[in-house]
């Protein structure tokens, strides 16, 4: 496939204008694929400013950048006009410290963090990994304290903490944010899973949709909808504030004792955001159990399920 002159000149102009450019799906605030999200997570830990290009909004750039750098996949990172690589390379450079060196950032502390794993969590992890031969348990904690576990092969540059007989693999940023956390196993009506508790953070309280309705009727709680725009448009929650639209800065100046209820599709991703707010000093933090789906089933069936 050849690259037309106009598209080549547009790409070159972007590279000439910005020192660091990430061609990706989505943008820095809302990546639209896991590979783009992984690249963004690494860059956010190292750089305050960089430029992103959403290839989903520009078919010519989406196909043209693959020809321009002779690289077949998205995302692609360019620094000073030179192709660095895709998501895997960016993550490998981040884990090894090479990305920090590239941008003149301080090389991260690689001391394994002290982590507590409760007995229930340890038992559940061992059971879940029983057939996962050759896999390691990875914990990723973003700059916003959103967290997720993943089974994947161990990396050469992983930082490894051992707690209650469980090995936990972390990247440099996650290792810093994991210091003093407690990993527990929680059970709710919607299911069971691992949870994180950050040191010094207020407890995140589970809030059923019936309890949420009572609190809303009393006018003493603010609902924060953490879902992306397409899901909110499909099944809106009237009166909720949007974290995506307003940005975290809009909430930073609220009194720390403001009652907040975080809402997502099923109550899973919202818990991570709730934990983040609790870790940043908010003392009345709630997670809506079952999310908008439970609200539709139990409170208001006019809200579409999806």
Residue 110 lies in a domain: no
Task: Tell me: do 96 and 32 sit in the same domain.
Answer: yes
| 209 and 190 co-located in one domain | no
The answer to whether position 140 is within a domain reads yes
**20, 47 contact by CB (below 8 A):** yes
82 and 17 co-located in one domain: yes
Q: Among 79, 103, 127, which residue terminates a domain?
A: 103
Indicate which CATH number applies to the domain containing 146. 2.60.300.12
Within-domain flag for 111: no
Q: Domain boundary at 149, 172, 197, which? A: 197
DSSP 142: -
Q: Is the separation of the CB atoms in 168 and 160 below 8 Å?
A: yes
Whether 150 and 176 share a structural domain? yes
Q: Give the structural domain span for 41.
A: 5-103
Indicate the number of domains in the chain.
3
Quick one: 189 and 236 in the same domain?
no
Place of tokens 């899901």: 231
CB 161 within 8 A of CB 168: yes
Whole-structure pTM value: 0.66
Neighbours of 233 (CB within 10 A): 9
Q: Is 175 helix (H, G, I), strand (E, B) or coil?
A: helix
134 and 72 part of one domain: no
Cβ pair 121, 196 in contact under 8 A: no
Q: Per residue of the chain (306 residues), give pLDDT as tens.
A: 688 999 999 999 999 999 999 999 999 888 899 899 999 999 998 998 999 999 999 999 999 999 999 999 999 999 999 999 999 999 999 999 999 999 999 888 899 999 999 999 999 999 999 888 889 999 988 776 777 899 999 999 999 999 999 999 999 999 999 999 999 987 754 467 788 888 877 789 999 999 999 999 999 999 999 999 999 999 999 999 998 888 877 887 788 899 999 999 999 889 888 887 887 778 999 999 999 999 999 999 999 999
Q: Are residues 193 and 219 in the same domain?
A: no
108, part of any domain? no
In the 8-state DSSP scheme, what is residue 31? B
Inside any domain, residue 121: yes
Q: Which residues lie across from 21 on neighbouring strands?
A: 51, 78
- Do 91 and 163 lie in one domain? The reply is no
In a domain, 306, yes or no: no
Residue 33 annotated to the active site: no
Per annotation, catalytic residue among 53, 125, 264, 279: 264
CA 125 to chain centre: 21
- Residue 9 falls within a domain, yes or no? yes
Do 177 and 221 sit in the same domain of this protein?
A: no
In a domain, 180, yes or no: yes
- pLDDT for the residue numbered 189: 46
Dist CA 243 CA 241 (whole Å): 6
Domain boundary among 164, 179, 197: 197
CATH number, position 230:
3.40.250.10
Same domain, 93 and 46: yes
């Amino acid at each position: 496939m050849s690259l037309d002159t106009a598209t080549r000149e547009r790409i070159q102009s972007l590279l000439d204008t910005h020192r660091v450019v990430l061609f990706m799906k989505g943008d820095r605030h809302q990546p639209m694929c896991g590979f783009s999200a992984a690249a963004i997570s690494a860059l956010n830990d190292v750089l305050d400013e960089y430029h992103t290009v959403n290839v989903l909004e520009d078919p010519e750039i989406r196909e043209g950048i693959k020809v321009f750098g002779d690289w077949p996949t998205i995302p692609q990172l360019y620094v000073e006009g030179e192709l660095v690589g895709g998501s895997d390379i960016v993550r490998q450079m981040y884990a090894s410290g090479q990305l920090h060196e590239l941008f003149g950032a301080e090389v991260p502390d690689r001391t394994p963090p002290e982590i507590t794993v409760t007995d229930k969590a340890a038992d559940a992890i061992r059971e879940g990994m029983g057939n996962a031969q050759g896999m390691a348990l990875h914990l990723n904690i973003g700059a916003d304290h959103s967290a997720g576990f993943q089974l994947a092969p161990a990396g050469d540059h992983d930082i490894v903490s051992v707690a209650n007989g469980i090995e936990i693999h972390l990247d440099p940023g996650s290792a810093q944010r994991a210091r003093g956390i407690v990993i527990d196993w929680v059970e709710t009506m919607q299911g069971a899973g691992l949870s994180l508790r950050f040191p010094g953070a207020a407890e995140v309280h589970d809030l059923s949709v019936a309890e949420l309705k009572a609190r809303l009727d009393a006018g003493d709680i603010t609902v924060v909808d953490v879902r992306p725009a397409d899901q909110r448009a499909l099944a809106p929650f009237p009166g909720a504030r949007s974290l995506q639209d307003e940005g975290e800065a809009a909430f930073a100046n609220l009194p720390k004792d403001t009652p907040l209820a975080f809402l997502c599709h099923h109550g899973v991703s919202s818990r991570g955001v709730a934990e983040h707010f609790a870790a940043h000093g908010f003392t009345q933090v709630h997670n809506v159990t079952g999310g908008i789906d439970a609200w539709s089933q139990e409170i208001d069936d006019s809200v579409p399920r999806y």
